[in-house]
Amino acid sequence: DEEERRRLADAEARRRREAEAEEQKRERLRVQEEAAARQRLDDDEERERARQERARSRVAKAQRERQRYADSRQREQEREQERERERQKEREREEERAASLLLAVEAERLDRLAAERAQQVHR
């Protein structure tokens, strides 16, 4: 009877120790799974941050390229406007030279006419 009680008590103690060991094992596994889940989440967040940073970098690069192109076009337009102003000035100088030449030719013609009239009046 005493032997039976001791055997039953030992079996109960063994069952409790095994149950406790099983519970500790489950708890360690749960903690490991939570840690792995947190690590996956951290990894996912880091990948997303890196993806967003690459996207921001691409957008910024594209904006810089567009700005460089716009600046280049602006400078080219300014140079073309300056060339057109120079061509216009040259045309105006040509017109002035032509007008001066016409005036000189006309003045010479009038001088000749005046000289001829003076000779005719003299005769």
In a domain, 68, yes or no: yes
In a domain, 7, yes or no: yes
In a domain, 108, yes or no: no
Give pTM, 2 decimals.
Answer: 0.50
* Closest-CA residue to 49 (of 61, 59, 57): 57
- Measure the N-to-C terminal CA separation of the chain; round to a whole number of Å: 180
- 40-79 pLDDT tens trace: 999 999 999 999 999 999 999 999 999 999 999 999 999 9
pLDDT of residue 122: 80
In a domain, 107, yes or no: no
In order of 3, 20, 27, 66, 88, the CA distances from 8 in angstroms are 8, 18, 28, 86, 118
pLDDT of residue 123: 76
- Domain extent at residue 17: 1-88
In a domain, 104, yes or no: no
What is the rounded average pLDDT for all residues in the chain?
Answer: 98
Mean pLDDT, residues 33-41: 98
- 20-34 pLDDT tens trace: 999 999 999 999 999
| Torsion sign, CA atoms 96, 98, 104, 107 | negative
In a domain, 103, yes or no: no
In a domain, 5, yes or no: yes
Domain count, the chain: 1
